[in-house]
Structure 1
Amino acid sequence: MADPDSRVAAQSGGIDCLHADDDLLVLAKPSGLLCVPGRGPDKQDCLSRRAQQQWPEALVVHRLDQATSGLVLMARNPEAQRRMGRAFELRQVHKRYEAIVAGHMAAPTHGDWAEINLPIAADWERRPLRVIDPVLGKPSLTRWRALAHDESAHTTRIELEPVTGRTHQLRVHLAAVGHAILGDALYADAVTHAQHPRLLLHAAWLAFEHPATGQRIEISLPAPF
């Protein structure tokens, strides 16, 4: 097996591969690219198909929103896919994101982690949107901390750690507390949406135990904004 700590300076269909071994791939997804094919001929180009051009056996383990950039893990055999899928379910894969949000967002104690604990449910009349719903929503927890404030732009760069993994969780939670992500076409108001041409949300860090060796793997990718 290849050294699981190695970084692979390779590209497949315009996709950067940060890590490759006999069981796993860690790829850098650009904003605007789907993780898997969508409906219709115009939605067939995606991360998984580009990866399969170089690694035909590559299998999907998890996904990012189309508008989100950053680290995506894929498996190279069904057993690795099964084990890593289970690790995600058990919250044994740790993820951190970076985002730039509207307004001055500050934790009660500067530099410390704070929490957003709001239940999320499907907004059935506006699918695929999600909504905060204290009755029907599933428990949803996001940890966050402020990294920097831009007083002139009235924005905050934050680090995020989703404890649960609900659809659109980070976007819904931040909008719900009044600090929507810049460029968010789904949950931000018109002014915040217009502040950037892309969603300023990036999957910056992954940590997990390798499914074959048990070795801890940590991979980071700086935000491109």
Structure 2
Amino acid sequence: MIEEETRIVWRADESAEGERIDKAVTSLDDDWSRSAVQAWIKEGRVTVNGRTVKANYRLEAGDEVIVSVPPVEELAVEPEPIPLDVRYEDEDVIVVNKPRGMVVHPAPGNTSGTLVNALLAHCRDLSGIGGVARPGIVHRIDKDTSGLLMVAKNDLAHQSLAAQLKAHSVDRIYLAIVHGNIPHNRGTVDAPIGRDPHDRKKMAINHKNGKPAVTHFAVLEHWQQASLIECKLETGRTHQIRVHMASIGHPLIGDPVYGPKKNRYPIQGQALHAKVLGFDHPRTGKRIRLEAELPKDMEKLISYIRAENH
């Protein structure tokens, strides 16, 4: 079956005034690259107030932008022999420990080097629910977050795992290193998350248009200028831990989006690791709980901070 193109309709507000159309459209979806959007503009797939425009068109408040996203089948997603750190695998599910810096699935303009490319080479039997570009992908973790990710090998497994995520019955525990010494030992951030109205590339606490989001955290180690914390997610919103911790004044170390632009610490990307993943097996119902040790870059960061505190 040939998938139809998707039409995205968006109206520019005052925050988009004067912004280039190619930059603005790219920020509407984390999976779109600037080069892919520029190609869509050349092909006439992007219109403003019903007319085609050039990539350097500057938006005005109130402009109606329509993006005709090409079908996902146009993505040529090829198997690539990229090494995988497999922590569990059977006929239904595979759980991998994703390294920091790896994108989970392909997107227009970025069709290689992703976890999906590696999975297609490792096991060709992945569920088709996610489409051609996202076979087997039930949930995601950010490119610069490391740790455990479960992938469905068939549609039965995909439906079961997706239902468990929706019911909040999947155990997801992360380790993070944040700026500042959190004065208490544990806490909960219960604040809705939605697109930042002032910067569409970011998520933010958004009480008007946000979706419910709850993060429980415990401080494992206090330092003078940083804290090692364990976070347990009730929900799985985009950038949830990063947004929630920044909202209480403790952004993740290495996170240039929600924390300081300059990073003086020895880590590339936010110090966040998906340590524990627990779920009911889709076929047997048996509870599976997996744990992944801290990656070397976070161990190095902890040693660096401990040395600073002596």
TM-score, scaled relative to structure 2: 0.64
Cα distance change of structure 1 residues 125 and 57 upon mapping to structure 2, 3 Å threshold: farther
> Deviation per CA, 1:3-53, whole angstroms, max 9, x where unpaired?
xxxxxxxxx622100100111000011111111012214x52211110110
What's the offset of the Cα at 1:131?
1.1
Measured in 2, the distance between the counterparts of 1:102 and 1:155 equals 5
Counterpart position of 2:83: 14
Equivalent residue of 1:80, what SS? helix
In structure 1, C-alpha distance between the alignment counterparts of 2:204 and 2:139, rounded to whole Å:
22
**Structure 1: how far apart are the matches of 2:163 and 2:85?**
26
Q: Which residue of 1 aligns with 2:260?
A: 189
Tell me, yes or no, if structure 1 residue 146 matches structure 2 residue 227: no
SS at match of 1:44: coil
Aligned-pair distance for 1:125? Answer: 4.6
- Whichever residue aligns with residue 157 of structure 2, its letter is A
d(CA) in 2 for partners of 1:72 and 1:30? 11
| 8 A Cα contact 1:70 1:204, kept in partner | yes
Provide the C-alpha distance between the structure 2 equivalents of 1:14 and 1:162, rounded to a whole number of angstroms. 29
Distance 1:85 1:106 in 2: 37
Residue number in structure 1 paired with 2:241: 170
1:9 alignment counterpart: none
The answer for the alignment partner of 1:120 in structure 2 is 193
Q: Secondary structure at the match of 1:121?
A: strand
Asked if 1:37 is matched to 2:114, the reply is: no
Render the CA deviation track for 1:59-114: whole Å, top value 9, x for unaligned: 1111101110000000111110111111111111110000000010143xx4xx42
State the structure with more CA Rg. 2
Question: Is residue 270 of structure 2 the alignment partner of residue 199 of structure 1?
Answer: yes
SS in 2 for 1:126: coil
How far, CA to CA, are the matches of 1:84 and 1:222 in structure 2?
23
Cα offset, 1:126, TM superposition: 2.3
For 2:290 and 2:272, locate their aligned partners in 1 and report how far apart those are by CA, in whole Å: 17
Contact persistence 2:138–2:158 (CA under 8 A): yes
Structure 1 spans left out of the alignment, 5+ residues: 1-11
**What is the CA distance between 1:162 and its match in structure 2?**
1.3
Structure 2 CA distance, aligned partners of 1:146 and 1:88?
25
Counterpart secondary structure, 2:85 = strand
Q: Which moved more, 1:24-33 or 1:119-128?
A: 119-128
Aligned to 2:125: 57
| Higher relative contact order, structure no. (Cα contacts within 8 Å, ≥ 6 residues apart) | 1
Q: Determine the C-alpha separation between the residues in 1 that align with 2:183 and 2:175.
A: 15
Identity over the aligned pairs, expressed in percent?
33
Unaligned runs of 5+ in 2: 1-80, 127-135, 299-310
CA-to-partner distance for each residue in 1:136-172, whole Å, 9 max, x for gaps? 3222110000011233xx1110000111111111000
| 1:38–1:44 Cα contact (<8 Å) kept | no
Partner of 1:4: none
Give the equivalent residue in structure 2 for 1:81. 158
Paired residues of 2:182 and 2:250 also in contact (CA < 8 A) = yes
User: What is the number of residues matched between the two proteins?
Assistant: 206
CA contact (8 A) 2:82 2:113 kept: no
Native 8 Å contact 1:184 1:199 kept in 2? yes
CA displacement, residues 166-213 of structure 1 (integer Å, 9 cap, x when unaligned): 11110001111110000002110224x443322100000011111100
Q: Deviation of residue 216 (structure 1)?
A: 0.7
**What is the alpha-carbon distance in structure 1 between the residues aligned to residue 171 and residue 147 of structure 2?**
14
Q: Is 1:93 aligned to 2:170, yes or no?
A: yes
Note the aligned Cα RMSD (angstroms): 1.5
1:24 aligned to 89, 93, 99, which one? 93
**1:72 aligned to 127, 149, 160, which one?**
149
